[in-house]
Amino acid sequence: MGELQWGYRRPASRGGGLKKPACWGRDLRILLIITGGIAAYKTPELIRQFRRAGIEVATVLTEAAKAFVTPMTISSVSQGKVYSELFNLTDEQEMGHIKLGRQADLIVVAPATADFMARLALGLANDLATTTCLATTQPILLAPAMNVRMWEYPATQGHLATLQARGVRLVGPNEGDMACGEYGLGRMAEPAEIFAAAQQLLQPEKGLQGLHALVTAGPTQEPLDAVRYLANRSSGRQGYAIAEALAAAGARVTMVTGPTNLSTPAGVVRHNVTTAQEMLQASLAALPADIAICAAAVSDWRLADPNPQQKWKREQHQSMTLNLAANPDILASLAQHPQRPSLLIGFGLETENLQENAIQKRAKKGCDWLLANLESAKFSPFGNYENEIVLVNRDGVHAWPRMTKPAIAAKLTAEILTWRKSQP
């Protein structure tokens, strides 16, 4: 078989055409695996975006995917051969499934169904798509797409955690209307989002190399008795996404996190804490840092006299009055510290008057930037895969559209890169 057939790149001419960005050096190659979900209809546009950027594309179409998009369609758009069969004698004469994975710079699976994710997590190799992924040493980017109940099912989340722990990257899923008529999390990310995520993996900007970033994430838990605690509904997703984005941009990242069920992002040093006082101590111990981002949802109060040895008995306490004491303000403490980071960024949650309160909070805390979001009956960032924020800095208030938390992390990292370039 020799060299695998990658998508044809039409040479640039006076009349236009595809031209590889000069900064990318040699030709880049994507292996796009299309699995059997209705979102497969979006893949021709994704292929077009790759080809317009001068990226060569090879495609693997699973048998189930052929029910949604035809090999002829994919071949026409990619201008290359479509691979489907694991035991094709012509392709496998020189171990085609090995070359497919290793000649690519990145493998993108879009859509990635619950079935495909499960088989990949379990290490099954019963078709060309899974075999290629298991045989590769290149990065893998999944764009999940499935019904919201399938996405939330414990087995699916377990497989996802396994894949992420192995370094598999994720883009999406998004929240919205689904083909089945339901609404929720499970829509495949749009082609532009997948392209942007792939581009970041192919050509990550390492503009933060040489900098140390401190990130706080997750909730804190303040003990009341031996089994109960005071906390909030933070999932930690935003802080973890920020830590991952900063590490991808070349920073040395220390993450101090409260209790979560999330896997440690690649390249991040993780310190687990429980209470706000422990988070403050761990954060100060991580100094000096060039950048600090306080994304944790820290409890403002703790019980003044907790009883961690015994459980309160209901029959002994028909009513109770709790004596609460204020917790330390980690963001303000970092702002006043002799080793204050050069760029100090805080998060703030409001229930009303978002912009006004955010401006006041930034001034009160003494941070450089403040990212504020709103908790309301219509939308809550807690436990959500999306967020909607305003950025407050010395230039004013900048409203960002609602985005997934990884997208917000990427946008924030881009702002930090701009900040670094402005430094003397």
d(CA 109, CA 201): 14
Say if CB 372 and CB 347 are below 8 A apart.
yes
**Residue 14 backbone phi and psi in degrees, to 5:** -60, -25
Q: What does the DSSP assignment read for 26-40?
A: SPPEEEEEE-SSGGG
Pairing of strands 140-144, 169-170: parallel
Cα distances from 56 to residues 22, 203, 256, in angstroms, run: 15, 15, 40
User: How many other C-beta atoms are found inside a 10 Å radius of the C-beta of residue 162?
Assistant: 17
Cα distances from 285 to residues 214, 271, 280, 407, in angstroms, run: 10, 11, 8, 30
Please pick, among 23, 133, 180, 367, the residue that the annotation labels catalytic: 180
**Start-end of H helices in 6-165:** 43-52, 71-78, 89-92, 96-103, 114-122, 128-135, 148-152, 154-165
d(CA 252, CA 147): 37
Is residue 23 part of the annotated active site? The answer reads: no
Cα distances from 146 to residues 45, 152, 194, 388, in angstroms, run: 19, 10, 16, 24
Torsion of CA 73, 74, 76, 77, to 10 degrees: 120
Residues recognised as catalytic: 180
